[in-house]
Chain A
Amino acid sequence: MNNTAAIPAAFAATLPQRARIAALHEEDEDTRTFVFRLADSAPALDAAHPGQFLMLSLLGYGEAAFSFSHLPRAGAEPGTVTLTVRRVGSLTQALFACEIGATVGLRGPFGRGFPPDGAERPTVFVAGGCGLAPLRSAIDVHLRERPAGIPVAIVYGARTPESRILRASLAAWQAEPDVMLMEVIERPTIGWSGRTGLVTDFVREAVRAIEAERAAICGPPAMLRATADALVAAGVAPGAIHVALERYMKCGTGLCGHCYVNARYVCSDGPVFSYAELGTLPDAFIGCGSPPC
């Protein structure tokens, strides 16, 4: 424990909370799910919403933002934090080198997640690649909170069958009543007999099948707008399409300036925005041609 007794409360409150890696699960070569156990109780983290994020700190490597892939609200054990992390930079590289028991720091939760209402409305979830991780907690919370018989569609796009992450969740959703899971593979390999193409090719079918009234999207930047447009074309109102944006973040609290999109901060005004709001933020989709995650 840190000795923070003599530290003014306003400063002590800024410290990352100490946590240890309690479990690890390889999703694919470069994606791993980490379960962290907090050293002290953290009611704010226990109460986090799907789509919110936290800052993970590794001393010597800095901090980076991650969305929750599982949450106490979705059935995870209180006092734990679950993140599904893709190895893309120096901090994630260092995190992948950590073993069970290693200490990290966690700060959060931050931001505005997916709207908590709407469990009674048929909803389509569209995820691309590692975008399934933040959406997983949204889907699980939705499934727990929806009234019986309200249908859900999940459209998940992955590059290859092998690169699909969170397979246990995929299997669990498949087994749920009134859940339509559509896995879409961009580059099928031998043995894949399911859907092939891009998620956008299947959005209309999903919306029709469940008469969807709302949607949530998470994925690489290039996919977000195309998917939102496809949802609108299929009849979902822009205000009912919730898009999780990603930006480089250094503070998480609206101070460092790194995450701004037009006059909004992704960290504190988002990261989830409705597509109607994004219509007023022309910078949201600049640079979407650059490599996806």
Chain B
Amino acid sequence: MGAGVLASRAAVDRLRRGLARDRRVIEPRSVDGAPLWVETAGEGAFAWTLAPPLVGVKGWFFPPREPVLAWDGTGAVLPTVPSPDRIAFVGLRACDLAAIAHLDAHFGADPWYRTRRDAALLVGVDCLQACAGGFCIEVDAGPFARAAFDLNLTPLPDGRVVAAWGSAVGRAALADAGVTTKAVDEGTTLLLGELATTAAASFPVRSYVARGLARLNAAPAGAAIADEEWQALGPRCLACTGCTSLCPTCTCFTVVDELDGAGGARARVWDSCLLEGFQREASGHHPAPRPGDRVRRFWYHKLSRDFAGPGGRLGCVGCGRCDVTCPGTIGALGVLAALGGER
């Protein structure tokens, strides 16, 4: 860990092009008006103020379909070993970095995840202002980066950029790109503090979030929220799996065998705990038979301290994606508003 000051945003462009020398550089860009992660080779202007893409980077490390083994007609069975390109993500926001820290802890030494994750270099960019619908500040995941980055950039109003490195790879990336840094002086440290305060003040007051979290986390588990409350939310979940697909910390998968002639492949495929059959057993026993049971289980997983991950952070990083996608308006803020007595 360490930090230095880059003289101008042009130094960041140098870094991006430097990274592109031996990595695919993936950055947020506006495509037909929608922010997306796209391959840029570090060319063009960096989108400093673009809203975070709705589809995050989870799928690069934990693909929607990950073959794990394959067999052929002779009966030979071999594991499927991914060979991901070296990549660099530039422009990850604090929430997405906190989410990657969660994925790292969850998947641990899993060789498929590790292989993909080890091929990636993560460059964060701090949010100087709240994004629409984001509430990272309520769950200690932002707006300034806390975790998982190799490099993290804080753009200063005077054009300079503070670069923090969280790994030797990140530090080396600056040097390899020929980017020089100056020590962070006292004035700059003060300025960073002011920027953090301004960023924090830019979030709308959502007192129901703390109230909802407190009720959800009251001991003993589940005691403070009556079953009827969850059952009332249940019918609003259409089991569309939009939230679990977009959620940067959702990791559930199923395993499917796909036949191909005399051979076949076994693959992990994203699953969703909101689907009716997620836990239904072959015997017919169903541990979450009603939609409200499944909604409760999901939000407990996201918002309960029992599932706290690295740094004691909740499974929800406050990115707001589920609220954008949920047709039943029971994304994280929707549910917290209901639990916190806001509606």
Contacts and interface: CB of A to CB of B under 8 A. Distances in A.
B293 A286 contact: yes
Interface in A168-183: none
Q: Name which of A10, A18, A103 has the most chain B CB atoms within 10 A of its CB.
A: A10
A15 interface: yes
Contact of B289 (A8, A103, A286): A286
A256 B111 contact: no
- Secondary structure class of chain A's binding surface, majority of residues: loop
Given A60-B257, A60-B259, A257 B271 contact: yes
Interface residues of A, number: 52
Given A255-B110, A280-B220, A282-B221, A290 B289 contact: yes
B266 A290 contact: no
A247 B281 contact: yes
B111 A10 contact: yes
B40 interface: no
Contacts of B208: none
Nearest to B250: A257
Interface in B273-324: 273, 278-289, 293, 297, 300-301, 304, 306-307
Interface stretch (B67-75, B134-142, B157-165, B188-196): B67-75
Interface residues of B, number: 50
Interface string B51-90: 0000000000000000011010001111101000000000
A14 interface: yes
Given A248-B281, A282-B222, A14 B79 contact: yes
A205 interface: no
A250 B285 contact: no
B271 A11 contact: no
Given A89-B282, A290-B289, A257 B251 contact: yes
Contacts of A286: 287-289, 293
A247 B255 CA distance: 15
B282 A88 contact: yes
A101 interface: no
A147 interface: no
A263 B286 CA distance: 18
Given A89-B282, A263-B306, A286-B288, A257 B253 contact: yes
Contacts of B285: 220-221, 246, 287-288, 290-293
B255 A11 contact: no
B257 A257 contact: no
A277 to B, nearest CB: 12
Contact of B78 (A3, A103, A256): A3
B255 A59 contact: no
A16 B255 CA distance: 14
Interface string A252-272: 000111111111000000000
B48 interface: no
Interface in A12-58: 12, 14-16, 18, 57
A175 B253 CA distance: 47
A63 interface: yes
A2 B221 contact: no
B182 interface: no
Contact of B107 (A4, A88, A255, A260): A255
A283 B287 contact: yes
B306 A60 contact: no
Nearest to A87: B282
Nearest to B70: A59
A63 B267 CA distance: 11
A105 B71 CA distance: 12
Nearest to B68: A14
Contact of A251 (B255, B256, B297): B255
A283 B297 contact: yes
Contact of B77 (A59, A92, A260): A59
Contact of B252 (A62, A256, A280): A256
B166 to A, nearest CB: 25
A291 B111 contact: no
B282 A250 contact: no
B254 interface: yes
A276 to B, nearest CB: 13
A117 to B, nearest CB: 28
Nearest to A90: B282
A247 B287 contact: yes
Given A60-B259, A62-B255, A62-B257, A88 B283 contact: yes
B106 interface: yes
A229 to B, nearest CB: 18
Interface of A: 2-4, 7-8, 10-12, 14-16, 18, 57, 59-64, 86, 88-89, 92, 103, 105, 220-221, 246-248, 250-251, 255-263, 280-283, 286-288, 290-293
Give 7 closest A-B pairs by Cβ, nearest first.
A89-B282, A257-B252, A263-B306, A293-B283, A10-B111, A291-B284, A11-B79
28 contacts: A7-B79, A8-B111, A11-B79, A11-B81, A59-B77, A59-B266, A60-B264, A63-B255, A64-B282, A89-B282, A221-B287, A247-B281, A250-B254, A250-B271, A251-B255, A255-B251, A256-B252, A256-B254, A258-B271, A258-B278, A260-B301, A280-B221, A282-B222, A283-B288, A283-B297, A286-B289, A287-B288, A287-B293
Given A2-B78, A59-B71, 16 more contacts: A2-B77, A8-B111, A15-B79, A88-B282, A92-B282, A221-B287, A251-B253, A257-B273, A261-B287, A263-B306, A286-B287, A286-B288, A286-B289, A286-B293, A291-B284, A292-B285
